[in-house]
Amino acid sequence: MSLSIEVENYETDVLIVGGGAAATMAAFECATVGIKTIQVTKGRATSGTTTVARGGFAAAMGKDDSPAQHLADILKYGGELIDPEMARVWCEDIVAIVKDLEDWGAEFIRSDDGELDLKMFPNHSHARAVHHNDTTGNMVTKVLSRRLRGDDRIEKHSLTAIVDLVKHDGRVVGAWGVDYRNGKLVTYTAQQVILASGGGSGLFYVNDNPPQVTGDGYVMGFRAGVNLLGIEMIDFQAMCCSPEELFGFAPHPTGFINAGAVFRNEEGEEFLKRYFPETAEKSSRSEVILAMAKEIHAGRAGSTGGIFMDATEIPIETIQKQIPHVYKTCLHRGIDITQTPLEVAPGSHTWLGGLDVDTYGQSSIPGLFAAGETAGGIHGGNRIGGSALAASLAFGRRAGRKAAELVDSDPVLITAARNDVIPESERDWLARLLERTEGPFQGDVRMHCRMLAHEKLGPIREEKTLREALTEYERIENEDLPNLRLSDEARETGKGRGEEIESALSIRNLALLGRLLSTAALERAESRGMHYRVDYPDTNDEDWRKVTRLSRADGDRIVFSTDPVKVPAAPPE
């Protein structure tokens, strides 16, 4: 069956996949040294999950602070699975990046004396979160976007989804995907490819990420032969399940806590005092989320399945200072948080594992890098607040700098882009998808993948439900994916067809990602960070102070193993 859809071909030195902070920082580095660069984004650049970093990000900018002290806090509270060298380099690099962001127009809040107004986040020994009140991510996105738009050296391909990487003679030489704005297929050849496509939160029904974040980087890297580290470790955050007007909204719980909010169960009890008498709401992020999840699991949830984040006793002046954007957003939707508690439940915020790379983001496969949330080893089994955006900025810069250096110092002769880089099996699958009039509708299967993760792969886990999830994702791959169909409208217009093809292709990533997550979570027979096993409720350092590793065997068969936790080359000062 022939594929009747137009294919456009491109050639570049560095192909960057993603539109967030990591991808954009990488693009800046390549452009600065004159390397031909194409940045491909599912949404519009700059986009991605940068905007969800509301309250600020951590950098040792204080006079009595240092990157070494910052690192010591991370190693102490980061779930004990972190690669210390990965953590060290971003703690050091982020200090210079803060200064660069300000040079580019970032408006971090400063006090009357001109010093940075640094916030204190839980588990940090110093106030070190640079911020723009509770819209830090939006502000950083605007700064990066403005600089990106003004840089003609970077070719931007928006509304384009990369489907898979292209390999030749053991190295990555490009990628192919769908330009769903125009309903075309696209191919790219490149000397170096940087995957910075975010995490996998789109696998979950409740999440605060853009809908395009579907774990593409994890799955593409895994298929190319790169191992996945610690993929079972996910950073869940409180997200609204009631009032209905705010469903799915991530209300920046750290900001609420700093303002003085308390968490209550259905009975009105401030239950965190029962779990953590000394620290209560000031406990670590993972402790708070797990306590919430346990209360919900025990049947002490509200009518829509959550617990209550109560700011009704906080003075309005404090609310307007600590979380002004959240307050205005809720008010705009008819909810006054000074009068009405928000009912919240755990939702997927960031993923802590990722592809196995070195401190420059370079993988074991020549020609392939990963940065940002797509990279592994950075955050271990937990993540203290303010780390995600900081690490993405730092590793995006490092990956871009190293990729550009390799193009300059060790250029690779690559074959010009051709239609036939899209495997015949993929062309056949797409052709049948376009023609099929019967079978499961792609949108329904996509929702099923997400609800399956929501119900069985959240922070509270056990062998029975994990095995059920694993079995169902395998069934989806074997039975539903070969028989997917598009809507009738999608077959009639180029744009509609492109959008549904992109969605259908992303289901393949979601199904494999669900299988990967289920496998790693099932094997880790202990509780650690926000991974809580009902059947193994304790942390087991003797057997499980290890990093899980998933590698690919024949086809997409998953091979599980573990690595010992790395120790620092020298103790942090």
Please give the Cα distance from 318 to 125 (Å, whole number). 23
Mean per-residue pLDDT, 347-352: 92
- pTM value is 0.92
The contacts of residue 444 (CB under 8 Å, 6+ apart) are none
Rounded to 5°, angle at Cα 554 from 483 and 214: 55
> Contact at 8 Å (CB) between 49 and 210?
yes
Please give the Cα distance from 360 to 18 (Å, whole number). 17
Please give the Cα distance from 121 to 385 (Å, whole number). 6
Cis preceding-peptide flag for 46 (omega within 30 of 0) = yes
pLDDT at 382: 83
Please give the Cα distance from 361 to 371 (Å, whole number). 6
What is the CATH class of 238-346? alpha beta
Confidence of residue 416 (pLDDT cuts 50, 70, 90): low
pLDDT digits (tens, 9 = 90+) for 251-290: 878 788 888 999 999 999 999 999 999 998 888 778 888 9
Q: Which two tokens stand for residue 290?
A: 């797990």
Please give the Cα distance from 217 to 390 (Å, whole number). 19
> Contact at 8 Å (CB) between 370 and 357?
yes
DSSP secondary-structure letter at 415? P
Asked if 238-346 and 422-546 have one fold, the answer is no
CA–CA distances in Å: residue 50 to residues 24, 45, 89, 135: 11, 11, 20, 11
Report domain extents, the chain: 238-346, 422-546
Mean per-residue pLDDT, 498-517: 92
Mean per-residue pLDDT, 133-160: 91
Name the E strands within 266-373.
307-310, 342-351, 354-355, 368-370
Please say if the pLDDT value at position 244 is more than 90.
no
Torsion-angle region of 291 (φ positive above 0: left; ψ -120 to 50: alpha; else: beta): alpha
DSSP secondary-structure letter at 477? I
pLDDT at 495: 66
Cis preceding-peptide flag for 243 (omega within 30 of 0) = yes
pLDDT at 493: 63
pLDDT at 492: 65
pLDDT at 242: 79
pLDDT at 158: 92
Torsion-angle region of 201 (φ positive above 0: left; ψ -120 to 50: alpha; else: beta): alpha
Q: Find where tokens 């007007």 sit.
A: 245
Please give the Cα distance from 144 to 469 (Å, whole number). 39
Confidence of residue 247 (pLDDT cuts 50, 70, 90): confident
The contacts of residue 242 (CB under 8 Å, 6+ apart) are 302, 303, 304, 306, 342, 343
Q: Which two tokens stand for residue 102?
A: 């300000």
DSSP secondary-structure letter at 114? S
User: DSSP 3-state assignment of 12?
Assistant: strand
CA–CA distances in Å: residue 376 to residues 143, 207, 452: 26, 20, 24
User: CB pairs under 8 A, 24+ apart, for 137-142?
Assistant: 137/50, 137/51, 137/52, 137/53, 137/54, 137/389, 138/51, 139/106, 139/107, 140/21, 140/50, 140/53, 140/101, 140/106, 140/389, 141/21, 141/46, 141/47, 141/50, 141/51
pLDDT digits (tens, 9 = 90+) for 358-380: 999 999 999 999 999 999 999 98
Rg value, the chain, Cα = 23
What is the CATH class of 422-546? mainly alpha
pLDDT at 478: 96
pLDDT at 88: 95
CA dihedral 171, 82, 237, 20 (to 10 degrees): -40
